[in-house]
Amino acid sequence: MSHAESAFTVPGSVNVNADAAAYQKLRGHLAYLKLGAAIDALPGVLDAARDGQLSVLAALEQLMAAEAAATEARKLATRLHFAALPAPWTLDDYDYSAQPGADPALIGELATLRFIGEAGNVIFIGAPGVGKTMPAAGLARAAAEAGRKVHFTTCENMTRRLQAAAAEHRFTTQLRFYSQPALLVIDEVGYRVLDEQARSMLFEVINARYLKGSIIATSHVGIASRAERLGDPMLAAAALDRLLHHGVIVAIEGPSYRMRAHQQRAETIRAAAAAAGRRTR
C-alpha cells in the first residue's frame, strides 16, 4: 500500500482497508470527473497531508490548483492552434536595438491589450523586412495567452478562402469564421493588387468586425497608396474609415530585419572559412 492510500490512517488502526478503499473511491470520482491532473497530484498531496505539511483545506486547494493549471494549459494550446500564428514569437523577441524605427513605448502600450477591449485596430506600416509581422504575431500571442480568441492570416489567403466559400454557397459561414475572434491579424494587406471580388470580401470582413472586434493589419503600403493597391478608391476609403475610427498606425522605418540576419550569417560563414584556411596552412 502506498503512503497516499494510508495518508489519514492512525498507526495500528483497523481502518487501513477502509482508508485504502476511500482512496480508490476518491481516484474513481476524480477519474469520472475527468480530472486527470488531480489524479496525478493526489499521492503527493496526501503524503504531504499525512506528514503534517498540509492541512486538509490546503491539500484540497493543491489538488484543484493542479487541475486548474492543466485545464488552462489545454485551453491555451487550443487557442494557439486556432490562432495559426506563423512562428512562436513573443513581444520579448523583438529586437528594438536592431530596429530603431520601432517605438517601444507605443508597442508596450499595445501590449496591455486595452485596444482589444475597445474593439480598436492597429495598422503596422513599413517597407518589406523591417519587422511588421513579428510584433503583430507577438500581440496576437499575448492576446491568446490572456484568454482571447485570435486568428492570424494573410490577406491573400483570407480572400482566397472567402472566394472558395462563395463558390460553394457557404460564404456566410466563412465570413463568420473571420468575424468571431476577438482579434484578427491580417498580414500583407496590399502586397498584391486584389481583384474586384477579393476587394469586396476584404471590405466585408472589415465591416463585419467594425466596433465589434479588433484587427491588426500589416502593410508595406502607406495610407495614401492604399486606394491604388485596392483598386477601388470608394471601397478603400470606406475600409480605411472603419479601420482608423478606433485605430492606431504604427509606422516602422529602418533597416530590413531579414537583410541584417543575412549579413550576420554571411559574416559568420566568411569568418569560419578564414579560420579554416589558416588551420590548413
pLDDT at 256: 59
Query: Are the beta carbons of 83 and 151 closer than 8 angstroms?
Result: yes
pLDDT at 133: 94
Q: Which pLDDT score, from 0 to 100, does residue 185 have?
A: 98
Helices and strands per DSSP (H, E), number in the chain: 12, 5
Neighbours of 12 (CB within 10 A): 6
Name the nearest CA neighbour of 135 among 197, 174, 79, 85. 85
Q: Are 49 and 59 in contact (CB under 8 A)?
A: yes
Distances (CA, A) of 267 to 96, 98, 263, 274: 21, 17, 6, 10
Q: To 5 degrees, how large is the angle CA 198–CA 204–CA 207? A: 140
pLDDT score, position 127: 86
As a residue count, the chain comes to 281
pLDDT value of residue 266: 47
Q: What is the pLDDT of residue 169?
A: 97
CB contact at 8 A, 216 and 140? yes
For the chain, list residues with pLDDT below 70: 1-16, 222-231, 254-281
**Span 109-158, pLDDT tens digits:** 999 999 999 999 999 998 888 889 999 999 999 999 999 999 999 999 99
For the record, the C-alpha cell of 109 comes out as: 502600450
